[in-house]
Every structure is written in structure tokens, then in C-alpha cells.
Amino acid sequence: MTSAREIAAAVTARERSAREVIDEHLARIDEHDGELHAFNVVIADEARAAAEALDARIAAGEPVGPLAGVPVALKDNLCTRGIPTTCSSRILEGWRPPYDATVVNRLRAAGAIAVGKTNLDEFAMGSSTENSAFGPTRNPRDTTRVPGGSSGGSAAAVAAGFAPLALGSDTGGSIRQPAALCGVVGMKPTYGAVSRYGLIAFASSLDQIGPFAADVTDAALLLEAMWGHDRMDSTSISDDLVPISADLERGVRGLRIGIVEELTDVEGIAADVRAAVERAAGALEAAGAKVERVSVPATVHGLDAYYLIAPAEASSNLARYDGVRYGLRCDDEDVQHMNARTRGEGFGAEVKRRIMLGTYALSAGYYDAYYGQAQRVRTLIIRDFARAYERFDVLLSPTSPTVAFELGAKTADPLAMYLSDVCTIPTNLAGHCAISVPFGVDSELGLPIGVQVLGRELADALIFRVARAIELSVSGA
């Protein structure tokens, strides 16, 4: 598969036209997405028009961005002006936003061309992309298995070659976990490094937009094109961000790397996954890094804290879907019954479950015992990470406890599904950055395994360096 940087270089040099590139990828989507369902909507006409406009600019000698002509898939919880944005929910089916998300505008300015909106777990609540109101997405590596979630459509789109780049959102692992299961690179930036303006909120203190790509270098290129301060997002970091691409090849010599015991040795981590982390650590050591084991004790409580904090924030954010302002409206005898009927028919089972859990956690008499206590645990996690980063530059762990599981295997057991994110959630609670990089396959099924590199806040460039070193060790370069 041709990389994003190769496409951009060829289009900019007029060796290929952007229209040719887009037609090639749209044809692949048309041929294969019926089996995978990576996309909720494909915007073929819009993509071709954008490609022709870009070709005209290049022919006129106008400057174009670093992603000129590169097809990109957008998770369907990112607002796109005039194009349906559903969050894979009936309650927003057919809604067309009147504005674009900041990241969409920035990618357009960089020359990238959106080819469609990808499927996800409804309102990004899930770990398998089976909670979508429009049906599940299948893993391109094995269509009997899930692609992970909630950004499963974006991960599958990159893995299937439908687009070299895609955007996802990560609230508790929703970029990194599907990246691991589909065998691609997926990265969660530092909270606030990428604008959330135009990202439909799930849990506002946890959500972050990030890149998917087939390799680390393309992922870095995509992140650099969209991150940076945005006055439309009050949580956006105003500091200058350290460039990524320039340091990718610096290697890891002299870096201190810690294998997180609580995330690697926890019950439920498959033997092949644990072995992959150890092999990745060995490769980094061979490349000149110093590797040791480290304890980050409070991370064992990450799952418990997350499933109080995230549903609590979701119950507040999703209160806006009332059948009055936008989206689905189910009429009834009065406003109260109309609200209840709209929400009952518009939301799926998992979304309802989390709304009820979050509302309970915020209710009078239970706020301190549940939500307040979860926030205190979150503080402990931040402190334990801070102590670990006094000794280590980056940390290492599995991304997902297992390889991709079969469709339907965990849908009847929400707790088993939630455990899919046990290794990724602590990073979201801390607001830090992390990246999943493919590292081999399991011995039984030959399915991809992802290794996770974790960094403190604003260490995004550093974790990319380490991920690149891991990637090079796989390729033997």
C-alpha cells in the first residue's frame, strides 16, 4: 500500500493527479466495503470535486499542503458541514452539521481529501464497533472478528487500504485498541494538543482526537497537520508543540524505558501479547535503551474510576438530545412523553446503560461516594504516573489484552467487553499521550498484536521516536 507521504509527494510533483488517487481509493471502497462496513457514508462526489480543485491549484503553481491529495477517513462523530454526522446513532440519523470540526478544516488546509465517515460504537461507547445502530464493522484481517472500538471503522479503513490515513477519537482507548486489533498504528495525543471543537462529546475531560495510519511516519505527519492551539476549544493547549517528524529517526539510545507491571502482568493478558511486549522491550534494549520493570500501583483502579467518570460526563453531554433542537423527534401527547420516547427509541442499549449509570453516580446522596471517589482515584493515577516518569522517559505495556475476538463473543457480557480497555484507560484519566504500534501476530490465529508506548503530557514527539524504533525492529531495518 502506498504511504500518505508518497502520495503527497507524487501529487505535488504532478507525477499523479489527486483525482486519480481518489478514484483508485473509491474503487477499492466500492469493491470491498460491502463486506467490512467501515463506512457509514462515502462522499464520492465531494471527494472527486476536492481532488479536481487541488489538481487545478497545483497546475497553477499554487502552494499545497503536506497531505496534498491524500485520502482520509473521518470518524462519524466529527462534524462535517452539510455531510451526515450520526455518531452511529438513530438519534442523529440524517443530521447535517452547519459547520466543520477544527481538525477537518486543518486537514483540508493541508491538502487531505475526505472520502467518507466511518462507523463506530454508538456515541463512541464500546470496544468492538458492534454497538452501531447501522450494524457492526468487520476486521479486515479476519472478517469473523471485531475490529475493536469505538473507532473500529477508521482502523478497518486503514487496514483494508481504503484510505492511508484516518481520524478517530480516544476516550478510554478507542484509537489504540482498534489499531492493535487491526494491525495499524493508532495514537492518542496529550489532552488539549488537538482541538475538540466539532467532536461530538462523549466524556469531555477524556475525549481526544488522534491519527490512524499504516506506519508511524504517516501517523506523525497526520498529527502535525491537525494539532496546535485553537481558540474555539477552551481546553486547547496554548504552548508551542514540539515537532515530531524531524526527530523520528533519532533512535532510543540512552532512553530509560519502564515496563508497567500492573498493565503487563494483569489477569487476562494473553501469553502471546505479554511475550510481544517483552520482545519489543528487548528490541529497544538492543537499540541502546535501558529497560526495567516499574510499578504504577493506582492503574489497577483505572477501569473502576473510568466507568464512573465517563458515564457521568456522558449523562450530562447526552442530555441535549431531547427531540427539540436537532436529530430524531418522536411526537407524543406532551413534551415529557416526547422527550422520553425520543430518547428511548433514539439511543441504543449500551448508551442507555451508561446514561443510567452516570446519572446514578451524579445523583444526590451518591455523588461523593461514586463520582467524587472516582476523581480522587484519578488523582492517584496521575501522581503514580508522575513518580514513574521521574525514573523513566517512556513506559511500555500491551495495548489490548487479547487479539481480535469473534463477533458476538462479548456482546452479552458488558463487563468482559469493558476489560478490553484495561491497558489504555489509565492514559486517558491522566491526560497523557500513548501510541499503539503493531508488533507481530499471535501464534494460534496469526492476528495482529499491538504494543503500547506511553508518555507524560506533551511527550508526544518522544513516544513517536520510540514507536518508530519498535517499527524498525520489526522490519529489520
Is 195:232 a contact under the CB 8 Å cutoff?
Answer: yes
H or E element, residue 472: helix 460-475
Secondary structure (3-state) at 112: coil
CA torsion through residues 23, 37, 123, 127, sign:
negative
Is 202:123 a contact under the CB 8 Å cutoff?
Answer: yes
Separation between Cα atoms, residue 410 and residue 225, nearest integer Å:
37
Task: Give strand pairing partners of 145.
Answer: 406
Cis peptide before 150 (omega within 30 of 0): yes
Task: Mark whether 3 is an active-site residue.
Answer: no
- State the greatest distance between any 2 C-alpha atoms of the chain, in Å, as a whole number: 71
- State the CB neighbour count (10 A cutoff) for residue 292: 12
Residue from 200, 233, 208 nearest 77 by CA: 200
Is 255:281 a contact under the CB 8 Å cutoff?
Answer: no
Check residue 327 and give left, alpha or beta (phi > 0: left; psi -120 to 50: alpha).
left
N-to-C CA span, the chain: 18
Task: Mark whether 174 is an active-site residue.
Answer: yes
Q: How far is CA 91 from CA 225, 315, 340, 351, in A?
A: 32, 15, 12, 11
* Class of residue 465 by CB neighbours under 10 A (exposed 0-12, middle 13-18, buried 19+): buried
Residues 6+ apart with CB under 8 A from 43: 83, 114, 115, 116, 117
- State the CB neighbour count (10 A cutoff) for residue 312: 26
Cite the DSSP H helix spans in 363-418.
Answer: 373-391, 414-418
Q: Which of 88, 174, 236, 400 is catalytic?
A: 174
Q: Which of 17, 127, 132, 150 is catalytic?
A: 150
CA torsion through residues 369, 371, 374, 379, sign:
negative
Secondary structure (3-state) at 307: helix
| Cell numbers placing 344 | 428511548
CA torsion through residues 74, 77, 83, 84, sign:
positive
DSSP state of 107: H
3-state helix, strand, coil in the chain (%, to 5): 45, 15, 40
Q: Which of 75, 117, 188, 410 is catalytic?
A: 75
Residue environment code for 255-266, b if the CB has 16+ CB neighbours within 10 A, otherwise e: bbbbbbbbbbeb
Task: Mark whether 352 is an active-site residue.
Answer: no
Active site residue ranges: 75, 150, 174
